């Protein structure tokens, strides 16, 4: 099983009961599943305000075969390696199915009924007044396990180096529209990984989406090979958004998509090609987001200031008419568009648009009035 298969299997099974999770872990293999869970858990630990020093925690994922891990938690981050400590300061053990459901299950699945935290004896009363660094480190670890204290998108954008907050003020709009997807097992595709022709640069927004969508799979698409940013729950592909065939092949590999974010070339014709290829691949209820629409006006991006221009903004504005396609009289001769019945809502912000995929079947009702005049 590759990493994306492991992610999808664990996330899917976490929506079911403990038995289903147990069977899934058996199929994946206890060690492989543990490695995946520990990477996820340590990636979620909020370490930024911890005191100096590194705390080592003995973690035991209990199951048919208990898997021991040594976690290292310090201000600069957290990580884990398989193994045991000779004289651990603290041992945390929890049933592996409960850990899986806590990390990847829908809201309400988080539990700690099988959790044990055993501290080494603290026979020095000083611990009451001067807690050792292990105390806050373990608290952050448990918060990560229980889904407490997840940061917001602006914080994640700054932390991971995406311009979605700062240069642009997109994150509040993303928070507003993405909130209902946050706890769902979504498939997210972003065109534009960042860093342009440097294969090592960019990836900030992919890591931001991964942290935000705790049950999500994130696919980054770029014209440059960005495979250095592949990690559990994040994959990257090379495709040119101006090339319909390469995008369609990519979409076939990914399968149904819940959210597309176009932050790629920002050339109007490319934006329209990507939309025309990927919007049909969205699941009903999905969202298609286009960023940096300022370029649709700029001649340097083949843009235009004309109101009815053949640009990305012109294309999106025509989708607004499509919302009301049923109100056009036959004599207006408006050609039907495939999006007329599938775009159910549009939201425009400064340089940013959200297109909702949902059935658009309403009409004004009185055809006599529509056709008159
Ligand atoms: C603005 S950056 C993306 C920033 C990133 N999404 C973030 O928020 O951190 C734009 C990226 O789009 C990529 N790109 C440019 N033209 C493209 C095309 N035709 N198809 C796919 N990607 C393209 C560039 O290589 C660059 O890495």
Q: What is the DSSP letter of 50?
A: P
Same domain, 77 and 127: yes
Q: Does 204 score more than 80 pLDDT?
A: yes
Q: Does 129 score more than 90 pLDDT?
A: no
Q: How many angstroms separate the alpha carbon of residue 197 from the centre of ligand 1?
A: 9
Same domain, 225 and 157: yes
Residue 122: per-residue pLDDT: 77
Question: At 57, is the pLDDT very low, low, confident or very high (cuts 50, 70, 90)?
Answer: very high
Same domain, 169 and 26: no
Catalytic residue among 266, 325, 350, 363: 266
What CATH number does residue 238 fall under?
Answer: 3.40.50.150
Residue 70: per-residue pLDDT: 98
How much of the chain, in percent, has pLDDT values that exceed 90? 91
Q: Does 364 score more than 80 pLDDT?
A: no
Indicate which atom in ligand 1 lies nearest the CA of residue 261: 6
What pLDDT, in 10s, does the model give residues 318-349? 999 999 999 998 899 999 999 999 999 999 99
Question: Average pLDDT of 167-191?
Answer: 97
Helices (H) and strands (E) in the chain, counts: 12, 12
How much of the chain, in percent, has pLDDT values that exceed 70? 100
Q: CB within 6 Å of ligand 1 — which residues?
A: 162-164, 190-196, 202, 204-205, 221-224, 240-242, 263-265, 270
What CATH number does residue 49 fall under?
Answer: 3.30.1050.30
Q: How many angstroms separate the alpha carbon of residue 79 from the centre of ligand 1?
A: 30
Same domain, 168 and 78: no
Give the closest residue (by CA) to ligand 1 atom 11.
192
Q: Does 373 score more than 80 pLDDT?
A: no
Q: How many angstroms separate the alpha carbon of residue 295 from the centre of ligand 1?
A: 14
Same domain, 175 and 140: no
Q: How many angstroms separate the alpha carbon of residue 11 from the centre of ligand 1?
A: 29
State which of 157, 171, 194 you would mutate to test the pocket of ligand 1, scoring each by most atoms of that ligand within 8 A of its C-beta.
194
Same domain, 266 and 242: yes
Q: Does 154 score more than 80 pLDDT?
A: yes
278 Rama class: left (phi>0) / alpha (psi -120 to 50) / beta: alpha
Question: At 40, is the pLDDT very low, low, confident or very high (cuts 50, 70, 90)?
Answer: very high
Give the closest residue (by CA) to ligand 1 atom 24.
196
Question: At 24, is the pLDDT very low, low, confident or very high (cuts 50, 70, 90)?
Answer: very high
Same domain, 325 and 195: yes
Same domain, 329 and 302: yes
Least confident of 30-39, 89-98, 129-138: 129-138
Indicate which atom in ligand 1 lies nearest the CA of residue 292: 1
Of the three residues 146, 171, 195, the one that is the final residue of a domain is 146
Same domain, 265 and 126: no
Same domain, 205 and 231: yes
266 classed as catalytic: yes
Query: What is the domain count for the chain?
Result: 2
What pLDDT, in 10s, does the model give residues 262-304? 999 999 999 999 999 999 999 999 999 999 999 999 999 999 9
What mean pLDDT is reported for the chain?
Answer: 95
Q: How many angstroms separate the alpha carbon of residue 190 from the centre of ligand 1?
A: 9
Residue 121: per-residue pLDDT: 86
Instruction: Classify residue 236 as exposed, middle or buried by CB count within 10 Å of its CB (0-12, 13-18, 19+).
Output: buried
List, in sequence order, the alpha helices (H) in 1-152: 3-14, 18-28, 30-44, 96-104, 134-146
Residue 287: per-residue pLDDT: 98
Residue 1: per-residue pLDDT: 87
Of the three residues 111, 146, 181, the one that is the final residue of a domain is 146
CA dihedral over 289, 291, 297, 299, signed as positive or negative: negative
3-state secondary structure 187-230: EEEEECCCCCCCCCCCCHHHHHHHHHCCCCEEEEEECCCCHHHC
* Cα radius of gyration rounded to whole Å, the chain: 24
Question: Average pLDDT of 50-79?
Answer: 96
Same domain, 174 and 216: yes
Of the three residues 146, 165, 200, the one that is the final residue of a domain is 146
State which of 163, 188, 223, 228 you would mutate to test the pocket of ligand 1, scoring each by most atoms of that ligand within 8 A of its C-beta.
223
CB 193 within 8 A of CB 225: no
Domain containing 56 equals 3-146
């Amino acid at each position: 099983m590759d990493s994306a298969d492991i992610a999808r299997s664990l996330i899917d099974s976490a929506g079911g009961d403990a038995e289903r999770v147990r069977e899934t872990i058996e199929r994946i293999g206890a060690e492989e599943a543990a490695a995946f869970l520990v990477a996820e858990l340590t990636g979620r630990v909020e370490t930024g305000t911890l005191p100096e020093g590194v705390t080592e925690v003995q973690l035991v994922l209990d199951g048919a075969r208990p898997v021991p891990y040594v976690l290292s938690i310090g201000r600069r981050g957290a990580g884990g390696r398989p193994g045991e400590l000779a004289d651990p300061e603290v041992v945390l053990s929890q049933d592996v199915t409960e850990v899986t459901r806590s990390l990847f299950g829908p809201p309400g699945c988080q539990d700690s009924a099988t959790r044990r935290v055993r501290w080494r004896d603290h026979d020095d009363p000083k611990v009451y007044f001067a807690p050792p660094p292990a105390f806050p480190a373990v608290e952050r670890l448990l918060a990560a396990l229980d889904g407490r204290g997840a940061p917001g998108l602006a914080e994640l954008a700054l932390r991971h180096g995406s311009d979605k907050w700062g240069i642009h003020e997109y994150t509040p709009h993303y928070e507003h529209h993405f909130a209902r997807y946050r706890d769902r097992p979504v498939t997210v595709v972003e065109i534009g990984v960042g860093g342009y022709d440097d294969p090592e640069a960019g990836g900030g927004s992919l890591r931001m989406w991964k942290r935000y969508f705790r049950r999500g799979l994130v696919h980054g698409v770029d014209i440059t090979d960005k495979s250095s940013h592949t990690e559990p729950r994040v994959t990257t592909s090379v495709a040119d958004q101006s090339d319909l065939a390469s995008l369609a092949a990519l979409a076939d590999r990914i399968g149904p998509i819940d959210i597309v974010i176009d932050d790629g070339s920002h050339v109007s014709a490319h934006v329209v090609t990507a939309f025309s290829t990927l919007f049909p691949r969205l699941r009903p209820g999905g969202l298609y987001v286009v960023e940096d629409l300022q370029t649709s006006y700029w001649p340097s991006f083949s843009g235009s200031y004309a109101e009815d221009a053949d640009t990305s903004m012109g294309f999106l504005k025509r989708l607004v008419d499509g919302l009301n396609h049923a109100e056009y009289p036959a004599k207006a001769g408006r050609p039907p568009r495939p999006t007329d019945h599938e775009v159910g809502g549009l939201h425009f912000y400064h340089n940013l648009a959200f297109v909702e995929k949902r059935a658009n079947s309403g009409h004004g009702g009185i055809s006599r009035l529509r056709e008159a005049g």
